Amino acid sequence: MGSPPEPLNQLSRSYIYAIHGYFLEKIFAAMVGDDSPFQRAGSPGSFLVYGGCGLCMESIYLGLRTECCLLTRCIMYILCIYSWEFGTGSLLSLFGACPWDYSGYSYHLAGLVALEYFLFWFVGSLLLEKLVICPTLRVLLAEEWKAKKKPMPRFELKDD
């Protein structure tokens, strides 16, 4: 018949996580009252940030899904998100390119991480696991579908 279906490769999964993160950022910005989140172009680096963080969260899920309860995994996801946000924010700040600044918040770390978003990250990581990571890991790529060749019908005019 053919080769068995294969799971999505790492780059494809990263792309799915990146698009998911990008659109959630836009939706969140619209919900909290940002003036024009859909008119502003997002940073191309945000796709790398979201894709990389998604892959890290996926590895946490794969490593802990049988060992830990959902609550523990969500806490681990939040630690991953905060670490990723702090690390990428620090790196981008070195080049003066960090697009976020949380220094106006009461509980922040160097203006790069806002601890006030803990609840949002908790709910977001729960939804990410259930609605994005699990289904993405289940997607399988099968062989390309090809139509079976059928003979073309012949039309002839007949004398009556």
pLDDT of residue 1: 53
Q: What percent of the chain has pLDDT over 90?
A: 42
pLDDT tens profile 75-102? 999 999 999 999 998 998 898 878 788 8
Hey, which bits of 14-147 come out as E strands?
108-109, 113-114, 140-141
CB 12 within 8 A of CB 51: no
pTM score, two decimals? 0.77
How many other CB atoms are found less than 10 A from the CB of residue 14? 21
Q: Residue 109's beta-bridge partner residues?
A: 113
pLDDT of residue 74: 92
Extract the tokens encoding 133: 């990571």
Answer yes or no: is pLDDT of 41 > 90. Answer: no
pLDDT tens profile 110-130? 889 989 889 989 998 999 999
pLDDT of residue 78: 94
How many other CB atoms are found less than 10 A from the CB of residue 86? 14
Determine the average pLDDT of the residues in 55-59.
93
pLDDT of residue 63: 93
Query: 143-151, long-range: CB within 8 Å, 24+ apart, which pairs?
Result: 143/2, 143/3
Answer yes or no: is pLDDT of 38 > 70. Answer: no
pLDDT top residue among 40 and 58: 58
Determine the average pLDDT of the residues in 50-58.
92
pLDDT tens profile 10-27? 999 999 999 998 888 888
